[in-house]
Structure 1
Amino acid sequence: MNTEKAIKEKFYSFSKEMNEWEVETKKKYDEIGMTNYAQVAGENLKVIYKKYLTNKDRKLGRQSVPNAGFPPEYDPQQETIQNISIDGNKAIIETKWVHPANQNFAVIYRYTMKLQNGEWLLDTKKKYSKGADKWSNIVF
């Protein structure tokens, strides 16, 4: 399999699993409450992170407080790859996420992937701010 195809497949697999996690977690939070489901949600999230993200301490973000809302942040139907650039063991993926209820609202993201032990893993995520004309770090 060529490198770009492997990167795309890994990214979309991550996005699909995160979407399923978000939809299920939001449903359970609505049904039984965040307090009653947060531990299970966190355990399920750890499995996804271990499979798709580089191994590093992530004190902020969903891992510390497993949150999910609507619309889901990850959705392979709403977030499409616009560009991939590969430099050795590092790849940059730029995506465009379009709000499912408002097609005029879009967000541009930049993900960094690293090749580790023969496998492409997500390492960082950034969001583009058009007003500030800069990229800002986003936590997974």
Structure 2
Amino acid sequence: MSSTEQALKVLKLFLTEMNKWESYWYEVQYENPEVDYTEELKKEIDAIYEKYVTVRERKLGKQVALSTRYPSTFTPDGEIISCELSANNKKIVIEVYQKFDTGVRYQYRYTLIFKNNEWRVDRREMFLFSENKWIKDTL
């Protein structure tokens, strides 16, 4: 399996697990708004990040805010637009496009890093169609 295929596999697994996590907890919290699920949310997302995400301090994002939304922006079935592997095979940038039935569309750019013989998701950027530019987004 090539480096690009390995990175794509890791990204898809990460997006799949995040999609399941976010969709499940969105529904649970919507049905039971008076219940505090902080411990359960944190435990599950920490396990996902431990498997797929680079280890570094993140002051923002799902792991910190424990926020959920529907539909999830973590879409494993999104269309892969491009993959750009660095010359040293240690970094890859993957662009993913998703259009929902509602007409809402997202385009994300994920950067994965190869370290200790494994690919890890490091960051996510979102394309602002209205301004035709990429901005930092939280994982």
Would you say how many aligned residue pairs link Structure 1 and Structure 2?
137
Aligned amino acid, residue 90 of structure 1: K
Following superposition, the deviation at residue 109 of structure 1 comes to 1.1
Structure 1 residues 34 and 63 mapped into 2: Cα distance closer, same or farther (>3 Å)?
Answer: farther
Gaps of 5+ in 2: none
Q: Is 2:110 the counterpart of 1:94?
A: no
Following superposition, the deviation at residue 32 of structure 1 comes to 2.6
Following superposition, the deviation at residue 100 of structure 1 comes to 3.4
Q: Distance in 2 between matches of 1:34 and 1:23?
A: 18
Following superposition, the deviation at residue 81 of structure 1 comes to 1.3
Aligned to 1:119: 118
| Post-superposition CA distance 1:32-84 (Å, at most 9, x none) | 3375212211111011111111001011111122111211111223x221110
| 1:56-95 alignment, distance < 5 Å | 56-77=56-77, 79-87=78-86, 88=88, 89-95=90-96
Q: Distance in 2 between matches of 1:132 and 1:57?
A: 29
Q: Distance in 2 between matches of 1:6 and 1:100?
A: 30
- Please, what TM-score do these two structures have when normalized by structure 1? 0.90
- Please, what TM-score do these two structures have when normalized by structure 2? 0.91
Structure 1 residues 34 and 76 mapped into 2: Cα distance closer, same or farther (>3 Å)?
Answer: farther
Secondary structure of the structure 1 residue equivalent to 2:48: helix
Aligned to 2:109: 110
Gaps of 5+ in 1: none
Aligned amino acid, residue 10 of structure 2: K
Are the equivalent residues in 1 in contact too, given 2:73–2:106 (CA < 8 A)? no
Q: Distance in 1 between matches of 2:102 and 2:131?
A: 25
Q: Equivalent pairs: percent with the same residue?
A: 26
Q: Distance in 2 between matches of 1:107 and 1:69?
A: 14
Structure 1 residues 65 and 9 mapped into 2: Cα distance closer, same or farther (>3 Å)?
Answer: same
